């Protein structure tokens, strides 16, 4: 990473290395104080996720939940050896409780290669049906003597797992839910006492003809069968291990309910690479089992001050196996020319992995769907109510949590129409059919805005269907942009031809928009935010503090008093941090 600093920063390399050594020494001393000097034959220290590293460094006696991978026999022996309690067993691991000293002891044991926290996970239609061409997909089209015909689909027979806060009874979901389970710690009810999961379920599968308002006509795929997997409690939160347990249940029961798609409108901040993130590992297992996993990108697109943030994709949206969805504002029209990425929608690339996310975008702003009667959201925010009463109420919500189920419904339509589609083929069809969103770029909207009808034709007939599509009486061109994680390249098509950009090309375009050719797609929109960084604008992180004119491009909390630029870190002193962590007292706590 030193090569990106430039010659003028050569003198700071030693300081950065020194800072890294200080952190290593700090943690080593912590380990030594907990367990003494250990033999080198015991193997390397286990990697800790960010939250566990902070807890271990704090020397706190408070115990936190720790997800450990391994067989039940090995983990039982591990817990016994360190006198720890197993609070939950998972299919491929367990959840332990450990304080700082016990974490250090676990990390030095040599049995596991990484330890992860168990953070709290949170929740992150009439216009939507037309603007995504779902209505056309359900209608289908004929052809001369049947040649070129694409039959209409509703998702009939396709099982969709809604891993969320539960699904309550609603008139628009009568006879739709075929299974109910709960994995919420300490709560076996499958009813949606929060109100989020019912709204999500209505976006996917609500039936027409029962709504008292024109603001909701039906879900995207009203023919599907819903599987209610409750993992979030009465306030819309739950442990990561609850979600993992729910995902593993879906995998085990996929054949019983023909589960082809799973919706995850939830997430937590990224604390480690996706390869070791337990939630991302569960997503990988599901996709490996043939289930298409659709995840919300998160709602961390801007700071409290209104400045844009890059790198805010949450877990499990950072998984390369998930289809990650950002949110669009359609401004109440079916015309795509005015669509824009919402300010709150999380943008990529993903932290640690630097993957291009989201994969595509769908309407997510002011989405009217089902309201769960007597739920927390219904009681706490009556202003969101739009129509109806009792078990036939409708409310309006916004977020990438609403955009993801629109894509989930679209996936159900595709797999009913072309049952042999694999998970990678579904993703390819969705991205190749999407329409590029100019103001969002690849890091805001991925391949672009969902175009279900074009994707349906691609799934049925191949890439020969890359043509314009009539959307609500208006013509929309396919963007045909998709990211190939295998070759680390992007294929870009915007009506003027196909161009393959390598990862190196992408980084050059990202830093210098003048390198764009006609028809190329900018990673961050028509105005390249990284080429023209305004003074004191937060671009990449969650919370930042400034005392001078520094520019901060990825961090959580940082303070700097000498004008340095912090490229990637958690907090910094007078060093320029290019990938790492550091600590410092706020120079101006006012």
Looking up residue 234, the CATH number of its domain turns out to be 3.40.50.200
Residues 134 and 66 in one domain: no
**Mean pLDDT (whole number) for 568-590:** 33
- Of the listed 51, 109, 135, 164, which one is catalytic? 164
Query: Which residues, including other chains, have CB under 8 Å from residue 130's CB and lie 6 or more apart?
Result: 334, 471, 472
Pairing mode, if any, of strands 114-117 and 47-48? parallel
pLDDT of 133: 62
Q: Which residue has the higher pLDDT, 508 or 119?
A: 119
Looking up residue 103, the CATH number of its domain turns out to be 3.30.70
For the ranges 33-47, 68-82, 293-307, 462-476, the one whose mean pLDDT is highest: 68-82
Domain-located, residue 525: no
Residues 139 and 42 in one domain: no
Instruction: Confirm whether 62 is a catalytic residue.
Output: no
Residues 239 and 358 in one domain: yes
Q: What percent of the chain has pLDDT over 70?
A: 66
Domain-located, residue 515: no
Residues 272 and 329 in one domain: yes
Residues 254 and 214 in one domain: yes
CB 486 within 8 A of CB 500: no
Residues 168 and 223 in one domain: yes
**pLDDT tens per residue, range 524-548:** 454 444 333 333 333 333 333 333 3
Of 327, 256, 257, 321, nearest in space to 294 by CA: 321
Of 540, 542, 543, nearest in space to 551 by CA: 540
**pLDDT tens per residue, range 463-511:** 544 444 443 333 444 444 444 444 444 444 433 333 444 544 544 444 4
Domain-located, residue 508: no
Domain-located, residue 310: yes
**pLDDT tens per residue, range 200-218:** 999 999 998 888 888 898 8
* Pairwise CA distance, residues 162 & 197, whole Å: 7
Residues 73 and 216 in one domain: no
pLDDT of 8: 30
Read off the pTM: 0.77
**pLDDT tens per residue, range 311-354:** 889 999 999 899 999 999 877 766 666 678 988 899 988 888 87
Range of the domain at 338: 121-463
Q: Band of the pLDDT at 433, cuts 50, 70, 90?
A: confident
pLDDT of 148: 64
Residue 153 confidence (pLDDT) above 90:
no
- Of the listed 211, 369, 401, 571, which one is catalytic? 401
pLDDT of 122: 83
Residues 209 and 346 in one domain: yes
Residues 387 and 283 in one domain: yes
Expressed in percent and rounded to 5, the helix, strand and coil fractions of the chain are 30, 20, 50
The encoded tokens of residue 10 equal: 């050569």
- Among 118, 145, 169, the domain-final residue is 118
Instruction: Confirm whether 164 is a catalytic residue.
Output: yes
- Among 61, 93, 118, the domain-final residue is 118
Give the HSE-up count for residue 102: Cα atoms under 13 Å, Cβ half-sphere.
19
pLDDT of 105: 92
Residues 174 and 244 in one domain: yes
Domain-located, residue 217: yes
Residues 317 and 276 in one domain: yes
- Among 72, 96, 118, the domain-final residue is 118
Residues 215 and 277 in one domain: yes
**Structural domains counted in the chain:** 3
* Pairwise CA distance, residues 243 & 263, whole Å: 12
Instruction: Confirm whether 494 is a catalytic residue.
Output: no
Domain-located, residue 484: no
Domain-located, residue 480: no
pLDDT of 267: 94
Q: What percent of the chain has pLDDT over 90?
A: 45
Q: Band of the pLDDT at 130, cuts 50, 70, 90?
A: low
**pLDDT tens per residue, range 266-307:** 999 999 999 999 999 999 999 999 999 999 999 888 777 777
- Of the listed 69, 196, 199, 268, which one is catalytic? 196
C-beta neighbour count of 178 within 10 angstroms: 14
For the ranges 182-191, 358-367, 482-491, the one whose mean pLDDT is highest: 182-191
Domain-located, residue 470: no
* Pairwise CA distance, residues 245 & 471, whole Å: 40
Query: Which residues, including other chains, have CB under 8 Å from residue 327's CB and lie 6 or more apart?
Result: 297, 299, 341, 342, 344, 345, 361, 362, 363, 364, 365, 398, 399, 400, 402, 403
């Amino acid at each position: 990473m030193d090569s990106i600093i430039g010659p003028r920063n050569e003198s700071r390399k030693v300081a950065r290395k020194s800072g890294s050594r200080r952190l290593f020494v700090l943690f080593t001393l912590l380990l030594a104080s907990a367990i003494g000097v250990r033999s080198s034959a015991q193997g390397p220290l286990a990697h800790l996720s960010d939250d566990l590293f902070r807890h271990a460094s704090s020397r706190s006696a408070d115990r936190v939940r720790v997800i450990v991978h391994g067989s039940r026999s090995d983990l039982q022996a591990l817990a016994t050896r360190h006198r720890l309690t197993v609070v939950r067993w998972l299919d491929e691991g367990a959840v332990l409780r450990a304080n700082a000293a016990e974490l250090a002891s676990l990390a030095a044991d040599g049995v596991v290669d990484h330890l992860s926290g168990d953070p709290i996970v949170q929740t992150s239609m009439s216009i939507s049906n037309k603007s995504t061409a779902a209505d056309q997909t359900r209608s289908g089209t004929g052809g001369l003597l049947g040649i070129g015909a694409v039959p209409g689909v509703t998702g009939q027979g396709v099982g969709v797992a809604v891993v969320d806060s539960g699904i309550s009874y609603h008139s628009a979901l009568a006879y739709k839910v075929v299974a109910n389970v709960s994995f919420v710690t300490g709560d076996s009810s499958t009813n949606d006492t929060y109100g989020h999961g019912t709204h999500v379920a209505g976006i996917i599968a609500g039936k027409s003809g029962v709504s008292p308002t024109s603001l909701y006509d039906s879900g995207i795929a009203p023919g599907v069968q819903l599987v209610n997997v409750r993992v979030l409690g009465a306030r819309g939160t739950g442990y990561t291990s609850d979600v993992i347990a729910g995902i593993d249940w879906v995998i085990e029961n996929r054949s019983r309910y023909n589960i082809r798609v799973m919706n995850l409108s939830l997430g937590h901040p990224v604390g480690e690479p996706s390869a070791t993130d337990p939630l991302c590992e569960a997503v990988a297992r599901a996709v490996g089992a043939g289930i298409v996993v659709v995840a919300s990108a998160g709602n961390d697109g801007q700071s409290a001050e209104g400045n844009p943030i890059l790198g805010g994709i949450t877990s499990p949206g950072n998984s390369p196996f998930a289809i990650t969805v950002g949110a669009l504002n359609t401004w109440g029209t079916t015309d795509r020319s005015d669509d824009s990425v919402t300010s709150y929608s999380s943008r990529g690339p993903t932290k640690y992995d630097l993957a291009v996310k989201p994969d595509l975008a769908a309407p997510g702003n002011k989405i009217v769907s089902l309201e769960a009667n007597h739920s927390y959201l219904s009681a706490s925010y009556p202003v969101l109510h739009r129509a109806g009463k009792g078990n036939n109420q409708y409310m309006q919500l916004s977020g990438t949590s609403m955009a993801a189920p629109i894509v989930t419904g679209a996936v159900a339509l595709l797999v009913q129409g072309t049952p042999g589609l694999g998970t990678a083929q579904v993703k390819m069809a969705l991205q190749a059919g999407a329409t590029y969103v100019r103001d969002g770029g690849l890091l805001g909207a991925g391949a672009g805005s969902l175009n279900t009808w074009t994707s349906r034709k691609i799934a049925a007939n191949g890439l020969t269907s890359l043509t314009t599509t009539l959307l609500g009486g208006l013509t929309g061109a396919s963007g045909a942009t998709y990211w190939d994680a295998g070759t680390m390249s992007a294929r870009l098509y915007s009506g003027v031809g196909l161009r393959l950009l390598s990862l190196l090309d992408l980084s050059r375009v990202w830093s210098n928009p003048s390198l764009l050719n006609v028809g190329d797609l900018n990673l961050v929109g028509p105005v390249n935010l990284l080429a023209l960084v305004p003074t004191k604008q937060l671009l990449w992180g969650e919370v930042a503090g400034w005392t001078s004119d520094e520019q901060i491009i990825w961090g959580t909390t940082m303070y700097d008093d000498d004008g340095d630029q912090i490229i990637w870190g958690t907090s910094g002193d007078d060093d320029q941090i290019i990938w790492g962590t550091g600590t410092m007292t706020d120079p101006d706590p006012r």
